[in-house]
Structures are given as C-alpha cells and as structure tokens.
Amino acid sequence: VNALSAAELETRLRDIGARRYHRLHPFHKLLHGGACSKGQVQAWALNRYYYQATIPIKDASLIARCEDSSIRREWRSRLVDHDGAREGEGGIARWLKLTDGLGLDRAYVTSLQGLLPATRFAVDAYVNFVREKTLLEAIASSLTELFSPEIISERVEGMLKSYDFVTAETLAYFSQRPPQAERDSRFALDFVKQHARTAETQRSVLSALEFKCDVLWAMLDALYHSYVAPKHVPPGAFAPGDQEV
C-alpha cells in the first residue's frame, strides 16, 4: 500500500469527522434543537463535566511522554486553558458555571457520584489511549477539535434560543473554546501531517481519530439510553429531579 500525500491524509481525517463526529448524534440534535427537558440538559452537563475535568489529565499524560521540549511547551497551553491561571478560571471552572446555572449542586457534580458508568469508561479509555499508544496516535486523537468550532456554534445558538434556563453567562465555556480549539488543532494537524509519512503510521492516525470519535459518540449513546429513550437510568446514576440546589 502506498502512503498518502499530506494533503490526502488531511482529506481522509476530515472525512472521518464528516461521518463519525458526535455532531451527527441524535442526542446532539435534540440538545441544540431545543427538544431536551431541563433534566436531560442537566444529565448532559453533569456527564460532560467528567470529560472536561479529565482533559488536563489526558494532556499532562501526553506531555509526560514527550521528549521534545518544544512540543511540551506548545501542549502546555492546553493545561492553562482548562485549569486556568488561578482558582475560578479556565475551562473546568467555566463548565461548573454551566452546571450551577442548570441548578445542579456543585459538590454533587464534582463528586462524580451521579455519573453514568459508561461515561467514566469512555473518558478513561481516552486517557489510557493517550498513555499507551504512540505519541503520534496520542496527538492524532486530539484532532476532533478540528470539528468542534462548528458544533459549539450550533450548540450555543440553539441552546440560547430554546432554553429559558440557559443564559449567555452560563455558556461562557463555549465562547472561549473556538479560538483555542483552532490554534490547538492546527498544531496537531501539522504535526500529524509531518510525522505520519508511511502507510502504516497513516493508518494508525486515522484509527486514532476514529477511536476518539467513538469515545464522544459512546458518551451520547449512554445519555440517550438513560435519559431520552427508553430512559433506563443505571443503578446509582443521576435521576432528573434529584440533586437540584
């Protein structure tokens, strides 16, 4: 098998996004289309909190295996984005403004008590992937950010329009993310195009991006099953109506 050119590789990566990114998931359509109940939006924000809170652990795991100072330095900005310069700043803190705004008790959210086990398994799989695969695959798995500015704009617009329990202030997380995601995904895409030159490594980066799409997709599958239909909440997980402030 012949290797692809860098431009062909980029086309194939973008094609994975067009077919498998969670923007296509029915739960996303309900959420941004204004068809979710408050309890469903709460369940989404509560579960997605674990993803947000785990991202710096994923990024530090990636930095920890990087022998090149310039890549570590570049990747470090992600830690700043999520953990902030000080208490109360950064992406995780902004996500908690969303769960606050939805009326969820903050101690309950951060305790992870109500998390769907499937969310935990999917997010932990992402961290383990970054720890165990090659650095190239770890970097490629971040490339879902190529597709995130679009989903974020749909989400913000749709949610502000449709839900009276959502305000621009509680959606502060999303207003910050697109420029960060653009900068980060440009770096990761350049890295992947430069370092994946053989058919084998190109296959591995394509698989890494599929894997990451699977992680995000599985999180929405679990939300759909538990909170949309047939609404089978697993034992111990968040039940809408519970845990409001």
Residue 213 and residue 22 in contact, taking contact as beta carbons nearer than 8 Å: yes
Q: How far is the CB of 153 from a copy of itself (least distance, A)?
A: 23
Q: How far is the CB of 26 from a copy of itself (least distance, A)?
A: 6
Q: What is the largest CA-CA distance in the chain?
A: 59
Cα-to-chain-centroid distance, residue 117: 17
Residue 9 and residue 196 in contact, taking contact as beta carbons nearer than 8 Å: yes
CB nearer to a copy of itself: pick between 97 and 120: 120
Decide: is 100 part of the binding site for a copy of itself (CB under 8 A): no
DSSP letter for each residue of 178-201: HHHHHHHHHHHHHHHHHH--SHHH
Angle at 206 between CA 205 and CA 209, to 5 degrees: 85
Question: The tokens 């509680």 sit on which residue?
Answer: 170
Q: How far is the CB of 155 from a copy of itself (least distance, A)?
A: 20
Decide: is 210 part of the binding site for a copy of itself (CB under 8 A): yes
Contacts of 214 (CB under 8 A, 6+ apart): 20
Whole-number Å distance between alpha carbons of 220 and 118: 10
Decide: is 118 part of the binding site for a copy of itself (CB under 8 A): yes
| Among 32-40, 52-60, 133-141, 228-236, the segment contacting a copy of itself (CB under 8 A) | 228-236
Q: How far is the CB of 111 from a copy of itself (least distance, A)?
A: 13
Residue 51 and residue 112 in contact, taking contact as beta carbons nearer than 8 Å: no
CB nearer to a copy of itself: pick between 105 and 214: 214
Q: How far is the CB of 225 from a copy of itself (least distance, A)?
A: 4
Decide: is 26 part of the binding site for a copy of itself (CB under 8 A): yes
| Among 36-44, 90-98, 183-191, 221-229, the segment contacting a copy of itself (CB under 8 A) | 221-229
Whole-number Å distance between alpha carbons of 206 and 216: 16
CB nearer to a copy of itself: pick between 5 and 128: 128
Q: Which residues bind a copy of itself (CB under 8 A)?
A: 19-20, 26, 116-118, 120-122, 124-125, 128, 210-211, 213-215, 217-218, 221-222, 224-226, 229-230, 232, 234-236
